[in-house]
Structure 1
Amino acid sequence: MKNPQILILFLIGAVLTVIGAVFKITNERQDITSFFLIIGMTFEAIAGILLIIKLFKKNKSDSFLDS
């Protein structure tokens, strides 16, 4: 994956996590709150794993920011 795609995955996860946290603070329904938190953190974890894989697989001649 390219860097912008990983960044978009992370941003989607961050937005969903913030929405879940706001719902949790305002004592909304627990099922929708847990859903937003779980899905948001899953997106962030996937983006982090993809970023780590990308760092280990990069070529010696390529910079991390070039892709």
Structure 2
Amino acid sequence: MSTTQAQDLVFVSVTEATRLLGYKDRRTVYKLIHRGQVKARKVNDGQYRINLASLKAFAGEEV
């Protein structure tokens, strides 16, 4: 498995994504999810997990 493929399998919580992006409010991250600006999955407990590579791409970082 390549590094890129491995990074595609890493997910973070909405709270962690909020912190990584430097936002103060989780609602902003939910807006990004609903607009399709970051890739996310809804897990069994109804919470979202955001794809870390997608989050980094949104933030303009090299993955």
Higher RCO (CA < 8 A, seq sep 6+):
1
TM normalised by structure 1 equals: 0.28
TM normalised by structure 2 equals: 0.29
- Higher fraction of helix: 1
Query: For the pair shown, which has the larger CA radius of gyration, 1 or 2?
Result: 1
- Higher fraction of strand: 2
